Amino acid sequence: MDFIDTRVGHILDGDNRFFGRSVFDDWSRSLVSQLDAMLAALGVREITPINRESLRLISLGLMSPDARIWPLKLTRLIASYGDPAAGYFGGQLVSTGKIMGPGTMVGAAKGLAWIAEQVGEDPSDAVVAEALAAWRARSGGRMAGFGVPFRAHDERRVAVLQMAKATPIERRRHWRLHEQVVLAMVGHEPNCVVTFAGMLLDVGVAPELCGLALSVAMGHVFLAHAVEASTVDGERAHAIPVEQVEYRGVGRRSTEAQKKLG
C-alpha cells in the first residue's frame, strides 16, 4: 500500500513528534502559548516574538463579538440546542465563504502578495499605485479589504494601527505595502482585513491560507458564543414565534387529489 507522507505528527513511545520536533522536549521548551502551535500548523516556521505579537494583535482586533454578527448568530443558533461543540464547529463552516472576513481576507492577501511580487522591495507610492491598478484590472475592479459598513471607520483597524505604532510590525514589508495600497485606494475606506492580510503575510502565512488563519485567530469569539448559547438561548433562538415570520411565497392552493375529496 502506498503511503501518504505527513509531516505533522506521530505518536511514539514516551514522546510525540510534531513538525519534526519532540513534543515533550523541544516543543515544551520553546512553546510560549497555543498561538505558537497555531503558527506552526499554518506553515509558519519562524515562531518569533514579532510573529507572536502580530497574531496577538490580530486576535485582539477580532475581539468584536456582537451576537448579531451573522456567523456568530449562526453559531448561537446551532448551539442553542445544548451542544456547544456543534455550534462552535458548525457555525465556522461559513468561514469557507467569500463574503465574510475569512473569504475577503484571502482576496486581500492574494492582492497584496501579487502587488508585492510586482513592485519589489521599498517601492515608491506611485509604483504601488500602478501595481494596484493592474491587480484591480485583473480582479474585476476589486481590491478586497475595503468598505466599512454602518460606520465611518473600522475601529478594529484604527486600534491595531495604534497598538502597532512604533513597533517592528510597522517596519515589515507587507505592512508598509498595505499602507501604500490604502493611500492609493482614494475614496475607499480600509477595513481591518487589509491590515491583517499584510500582517499575516509578514508572519509568513501563505496568501491562500490567510482566511483560515483569520478563522483560527477569532476562534475565541465563536467559542464564547457557542458556550453561552448552549445554556442560555434555548427555544427563544430556535423556535421563533410565527408572529415574527412574514410569509411571502405562493398563495394557498390544493392538489388535484385534494380537490376531488372536496
Partner 1 sequence: MKTYTGILDRVDFAERLTAQVVEPCADPRVHGYAVQADLGHSIDLLEFSWLALVGELPSAEARAALTRALIWLAPLHVGEGPTHVAVLGRVAGAPDEVLAGLVTVALGQHIASEQRSLAPWLAWLDDPNPSFDIPELAIEPSPTPEQVQAHAALAADSLRWFGPSRELPATPVLRRVAAGYALLHRLGLRDPLVVQALVTCARLPVALAEAARTRAGAVLSYATRVPNYRYVEEDESWTSSTPE
Question: Which residue ranges make up the site for partner 1 (CB under 8 A)?
Answer: 10-13, 17, 66-68, 70-71, 73-74, 76-78, 80-83, 86, 89-90, 93-94, 96-100, 103, 149, 233, 236-242, 244-245
Q: Nearest distance from residue 172's CB to partner 1, in Å?
A: 23
Decide whether 174 or 225 has the Cβ nearer to partner 1. Answer: 225
Decide whether 63 or 93 has the Cβ nearer to partner 1. Answer: 93
Partnered with residue 134 across adjacent β-strands are none
Decide whether 98 or 171 has the Cβ nearer to partner 1. Answer: 98
Burial of 256 (0-12, 13-18, 19+ CB in 10 A): exposed
Q: Nearest distance from residue 87's CB to partner 1, in Å?
A: 8
DSSP secondary structure code for residue 145 in this structure:
S
Q: Nearest distance from residue 44's CB to partner 1, in Å?
A: 22
Q: What nine digits make up the cell of 105?
A: 481576507
Look-up of cell digits 502565512: 205
Decide whether 54 or 80 has the Cβ nearer to partner 1. Answer: 80
- Cβ(108)–Cβ(214) below 8 Å: no
> Closest Cα partner for 109 from 231, 203, 37?
203
Q: Nearest distance from residue 121's CB to partner 1, in Å?
A: 34
> Closest Cα partner for 135 from 195, 67, 181?
181
